A and B are shown apart, each in its own frame.
Chain A
Amino acid sequence: MDFNLSEERQMLQDGLRRMLVDKVDTKAIARGDTAWSAETWQALTEMGVIGALFTEEQGGFGGAGFDLMVVFEEMGRAGAPEPLLETLLAGRLIAELGSATQIEQLDEVIAGEVQMAFAHSEPGSRYDLERVATNAARDGDDWVLTGRKSVVTNGGEADQIVLSARVSGAVSDREGLALFLVPKGTEGLEIRDYPLTGGGRGAELAMEEMRLPGDALLGEAGDALPAIERTVARGSAAQCAEALGLMERIRDLTVTYLQQRTQFGQPLIKFQALAFRMADVLIEIEQARSAVINLCGHLDADPTTRELHVSAAKQLVGATAKLVVEESIQMHGGIGITQEYDLAHFARRLTMVEHRFGDALWHLGRFARLRAA
């Protein structure tokens, strides 16, 4: 048993923390002046951070759950909205399913030279991963796709989009899904992109008889769901780790504020009613950390075990995110809901964690069902 970081991971954490400090302009993001910064992206790639998300075999130097945890926790602590998670999701799918030629593209992905997106969720699918209505039909050697994808993070900026579609079956069948690699500017693909509440940009994708060559298919047609689930499990781990970093940052901001702000001639932290609530926040964040460690340690376990931990972590992190956001805003008073104070961006970004890959309530139900099965 050892809960310490290896020397390499410790170095990665230190380096990343030092590099990201003061890099993220949280106020500009909260104002909506910028979604994410190319300069920070550049700095991340120069540090080789993307390599930590992939195994040596895939061309990286990490790829394990705890590598993701270290990287994304620091992204969270900085409030960095750069689309690293999208590179993880799309890159891992290419690495797992790609043909020899498709896998060649991974070098560029890991070098951070191309922007990626994973387009899976649809207007009616909510968080159900098997629910895909976008249709892909064979036409000679080509594929022709029609349908819509919703809230695709980085979709408007991506050079390559890994996009799911249904080749057979009913809309909620587990079988019948396929993944495609769609380059930017493909004819028949319409994109509306917009800012997201937590920073970064999202996009609505509309495919109207979008024609793709046969070699755009990623893996086998009809059998993509298990790989999507494995990848979303990794994405959820990354996202939960990011949430953890955000929570700790918010906790630090709030504690510092309570120590500095005086009312009735005393620093606010001296009011026990507030100090006890802050103590609760501390306790719950530690619980969330343990849930994230559980998940990161089981990403390569059998699917049932892995998915139990996905839902356990997402439930606990989601519930804790709400507690941390609401308590920290309340204890700040008015300043806590102003755009020009750092908390605004952190609170928004942390809250939005629940709106991707499932919120606390959804995962509570899912956990219960998985346990009963």
Chain B
Amino acid sequence: MDLTYSEEYETFRRDLRGFLEARLPKRLADKVRLGQRVTKEDHEEWHAILQERNWLAGHWPKEHGGAGWDAVERHIFEEETTRAHAPRIVPFGVMMLGPVLMKFGSDAQKAHWLPRILNGTDWWCQGYSEPGAGSDLAAIKTTAERDGDHYVVNGQKTWTTLAQYADHIFCLVRTSKEGKKQEGISFLLIDMNDPGIEVRPIHLIDGGAEVNEVWFKDVRVPVENLVGEENQGWTIAKYLLTHERTNIAGVGFANEALANLKRIAALEHQNGRPLIEDPLFAAEIARLEIQLMAMATTNLRVVSAAAGGNAPGVESSMLKVKGTVIRQEINDLTRRACGPYAMPFVSEALEAGSNVEPVGPDYAAPVSGRYFNNRKLSIYGGSNEVQKQIIAKMRLGA
């Protein structure tokens, strides 16, 4: 047992900190810190800066343009970038499609698509869920029928995050109705500029529009955009989901949210004293901090095992459940910390440069919206109920 990082990792951390200090634009960090909306251009700007050091996809092998990080380095990157209030990396190309192509893609597909993810040519989104297929993902109905050199795609995807920015979508489509429903699914890459595609925004409870419906009407997709074999899509989908669940614990985000909560609780007053000195409120913060300290180590135990070559299985489900609940509880206590100033709903105040002043202290402006919006954490990426089912199946013989 040794809880310290090796010198090699500490060197990496110092290097990274120096880089963030020098290269992370203050304008972007301020937006993230104040909970303001991050635009497409903001994301692209930050991605390009990271790629100067091959750090946009640091966990990719060097041959594909990554930095070849192991799980520990990846963890350090998450920790330091959240601490510095860097925008998060848009995951769809870097975290999801990239690893899928490396494992299942043809050489031609790798050569064509991987560099374009890194240099920002393509913005990907994830077309898995449908109105009738959420937790029961294998129930997807969107069809792809072979017609010569093309697949013709018809159907609808939903909850597609940032599809409004995307020019490409990777989709699960039904290529066969024979046998078990898992056996007739394929993984297809689709150009969003193709005729027959329509994107409609879905507004969420906090007023933002980060998700969309994507409709397909007779969309013609070249067969070379099939990844892996026809009807192999379910295997690919499951592989991708395990990648989606890395860093699922969100320790960095939770640390940052806890620090923000403490800052607010020190500035807010109750009975003429800082709220953080109220024994009841302080106890609630402490309860969350104790949980978080333990989870950080649970996470490191998993990370360290992964760096040693053990693919996390049921552990990532545990981290998903615990990590999301802790973050949601921090969001809940943060909205309470703001008291009556959690009530004003001034959506424009979350747009940087809107000239609309927030009502009350600036830290209060995003707290209610974030509380509601982050209910998503336990719904997407495999809902917490689905994770518990996995735990029950893999560990409890259920």
Per a CB cutoff under 8 Å, which of B207, B342, B385 touches A32?
A: B207
Chain A residue at minimum C-beta to C-beta distance from B134: A333
Is there a chain B Cβ closer than 8 Å to A63's Cβ?
Answer: no
Per a CB cutoff under 8 Å, which of B159, B341, B375, B378 touches A151?
A: B341
Is there a chain B Cβ closer than 8 Å to A150's Cβ?
Answer: yes
Is there a chain B Cβ closer than 8 Å to A356's Cβ?
Answer: yes
Are A197 and B345 within 8 A (Cβ)?
yes
Per a CB cutoff under 8 Å, which of B280, B339, B341, B375 touches A337?
A: B375
Q: A126-B340, A274-B385, A347-B372 are in contact. Are A338 and B205 (CB under 8 A)?
A: yes
Min CB distance A274 to B, Å, is 7
Are A348 and B372 within 8 A (Cβ)?
yes
Are B360 and A150 within 8 A (Cβ)?
yes
Q: Which of B371-396 contact A (CB under 8 A)?
A: 371-373, 375-376, 378-380, 383-385, 388
Q: A202-B344, A355-B339 are in contact. Are A273 and B373 (CB under 8 A)?
A: no
Are B203 and A31 within 8 A (Cβ)?
yes
Chain B residue at minimum C-beta to C-beta distance from A364: B280
Most chain A beta-carbon neighbours within 10 Å: one of B135, B271, B281: B271
Per a CB cutoff under 8 Å, which of A30, A126, A274, A333 touches B205?
A: A30
Q: Which of B269-305 contact A (CB under 8 A)?
A: 269-272, 275, 278-281, 284
Q: A334-B379, A337-B375, A365-B280 are in contact. Are A264 and B136 (CB under 8 A)?
A: yes
Q: Contacts of B280 on A, CB cut-off 8 Å? A: 361, 364-365
For the complex, give the distance between the alpha carbons of A30 and B272 in Å.
Answer: 35
Q: Which of B346-380 contact A (CB under 8 A)?
A: 346-347, 359-360, 368, 371-373, 375-376, 378-380
Q: A126-B268, A365-B280 are in contact. Are A197 and B343 (CB under 8 A)?
A: yes
Is there a chain A Cβ closer than 8 Å to B336's Cβ?
Answer: yes
Q: Contacts of B383 on A, CB cut-off 8 Å? A: 330, 333
Is there a chain A Cβ closer than 8 Å to B82's Cβ?
Answer: no
Chain A residue at minimum C-beta to C-beta distance from B373: A337
Min CB distance A268 to B, Å, is 9
Is there a chain A Cβ closer than 8 Å to B182's Cβ?
Answer: no
For the complex, give the distance between the alpha carbons of A31 and B204 in Å.
Answer: 9
Q: A329-B375, A340-B203, A361-B336 are in contact. Are A172 and B271 (CB under 8 A)?
A: yes
Q: Which of A169-224 contact B (CB under 8 A)?
A: 171-172, 192, 194-198, 202, 204
Q: Report A332-355 CB contacts with B as 1/0, cut-off 8 Å.
A: 011011111000100110011011
Min CB distance B58 to A, Å, is 31
How many residue pairs bridge A and B at CB < 8 Å?
A: 138
Are A194 and B372 within 8 A (Cβ)?
no
Q: A151-B343, A197-B342 are in contact. Are A339 and B336 (CB under 8 A)?
A: no
Q: Contacts of B359 on A, CB cut-off 8 Å? A: 151, 192, 194, 202, 204
Is there a chain A Cβ closer than 8 Å to B154's Cβ?
Answer: no
Are A198 and B343 within 8 A (Cβ)?
yes
Q: Contacts of A249 on B, CB cut-off 8 Å? A: none
Q: Contacts of B371 on A, CB cut-off 8 Å? A: 351
- B interface residues, tally (CB under 8 Å): 52
Q: Report B180-223 CB contacts with A as 1/0, cut-off 8 Å.
A: 00000000000000000000001111010001000000000000
Is there a chain A Cβ closer than 8 Å to B139's Cβ?
Answer: yes
Is there a chain B Cβ closer than 8 Å to A154's Cβ?
Answer: no
Is there a chain A Cβ closer than 8 Å to B129's Cβ?
Answer: yes
Q: Contacts of A329 on B, CB cut-off 8 Å? A: 375, 379
Min CB distance A190 to B, Å, is 14
Is there a chain B Cβ closer than 8 Å to A56's Cβ?
Answer: no
Min CB distance B274 to A, Å, is 11
Q: A274-B385, A348-B205, A351-B368 are in contact. Are A196 and B271 (CB under 8 A)?
A: no
Q: Contacts of A151 on B, CB cut-off 8 Å? A: 340-341, 343-344, 359-360
Q: A194-B345, A274-B385, A338-B203 are in contact. Are A263 and B339 (CB under 8 A)?
A: no
Is there a chain A Cβ closer than 8 Å to B332's Cβ?
Answer: yes
Q: Report A25-66 CB contacts with B as 1/0, cut-off 8 Å.
A: 000001110000000000000000000000000000000000
Q: Report A84-123 CB contacts with B as 1/0, cut-off 8 Å.
A: 0000000000000000000000000000000000000101
Q: Contacts of A202 on B, CB cut-off 8 Å? A: 343-344, 359
Min CB distance B367 to A, Å, is 10
For the complex, give the distance between the alpha carbons of A186 and B17 in Å.
Answer: 55
Q: Report A118-132 CB contacts with B as 1/0, cut-off 8 Å.
A: 000101101110010
Are A195 and B346 within 8 A (Cβ)?
yes
Are A339 and B375 within 8 A (Cβ)?
no
Are B339 and A339 within 8 A (Cβ)?
no
Chain B residue at minimum C-beta to C-beta distance from A344: B205
Q: Contacts of B339 on A, CB cut-off 8 Å? A: 126-127, 355, 359
Is there a chain B Cβ closer than 8 Å to A322's Cβ?
Answer: yes
Per a CB cutoff under 8 Å, which of B205, B340, B343, B379 touches A330?
A: B379
18 contacts between A and B (CB under 8 A): A128-B270, A150-B340, A151-B344, A151-B359, A172-B271, A196-B344, A197-B343, A322-B332, A333-B135, A334-B211, A347-B372, A348-B368, A352-B343, A352-B368, A355-B340, A356-B343, A361-B280, A365-B280
A-B pairs, 4 with minimum CB distance = A339-B203, A263-B136, A197-B345, A151-B340
Q: Other CB < 8 Å A-B pairs besides A126-B270, A330-B378, A334-B129, 20 of them? A: A32-B207, A128-B271, A131-B272, A151-B359, A194-B345, A196-B345, A197-B343, A333-B134, A334-B211, A336-B375, A337-B373, A338-B203, A338-B205, A348-B368, A351-B335, A355-B342, A361-B280, A361-B284, A364-B280, A365-B278
